[in-house]
Amino acid sequence: MKRLFQDKVALVTGAGSGIGQAAAFSYAANGAKVIVSDIKDNDTVAKIVAEGGEAYFVKTDVSIALECERLIEETLHKYGKIDIAFNNAGILGETNTLADMSNNGFEKVISVNLNGVFYCMKYEIAAMLKQGSGVIVNTASILGVVGFASFSGYVAAKHGVVGLTQNAAFEYSSKGIRINCVAPGFINTPLLSTMNAKSKEELSLKHPIGRLGEPKEVAALVIWLSSDEASYATGGYYPIDGGYLTS
């Protein structure tokens, strides 16, 4: 039986750990050739290859426009096309109330979480327009529609990702490019590594389902949005949050 992404090329930023790594594994398991992008080398490619998949690493700092452009150029040089892009790279950044947040701290989280999505989309869309098709999935957040104390930079960036996604979908859906964003709740990834067990338990209780999410659960939604099964889905904001936004 033909696998979901047989003969397709999928690019994943922030693929070194967490949601990005889980998505990269899933793309590969479903037959895609995977471009693994992150700010430092990691074991994602080796694990994919060990399972019989195909992957290629491109070191990228998405906060730098030229590096995002080079990422797309390397993808095209390696595989000749880019069918799917999952723009997932992000940081938590400085946590502080707005008046106490440093200018540099705010600018850093915006540069990675918002500017990075813009830069990647800019060059991905240009390539996909030449092909006449493509799928983009961006990682937003539940904090793309609500606030959270001491997360001003992160909240602002994720609100921006939602807006970019919706506007780009409006502009390019008629040209064969579908663009959506996923909105995870609090997921058990390295972003939460600084939290102690008690804090994680308290955070878990904010989700009606009673626990934090796992990267593979978010990856499953990303895979669906990337597939032809989601052919009528574009411009959407898809929470996967254990009911957080209902509480």
Q: What is the pLDDT of residue 196?
A: 80
Q: How many CB atoms lie within 10 A of CB 210?
A: 10
237 is catalytic: no
Residues 79, 119, 123, 154: which is the catalytic one? 154
Q: What is the pLDDT of residue 112?
A: 98
Token digits of residue 188: 């058990």
DSSP symbols for 151-176:
BHHHHHHHHHHHHHHHHHHHHHGGGT
Q: What is the pLDDT of residue 2?
A: 59
Report d(CA 157, CA 173) in Å as an integer: 23
For 141-166, how does the pLDDT look when each residue is reduced to its tens digit (9 = 90+)?
999 999 999 999 999 999 999 999 99
For 80-109, how does the pLDDT look when each residue is reduced to its tens digit (9 = 90+)?
999 999 999 999 999 999 999 999 999 999
CATH H-level, domain 9-239: superfamily: NAD(P)-binding Rossmann-like Domain (3.40.50.720)
Q: Is residue 8 within 8 Å of 31, Cβ to Cβ?
A: yes
Q: What is the pLDDT of residue 198?
A: 85
Domains of the chain: which residue ranges? 9-239
For the cut 90, the answer to whether the pLDDT of residue 192 exceeds it is: no
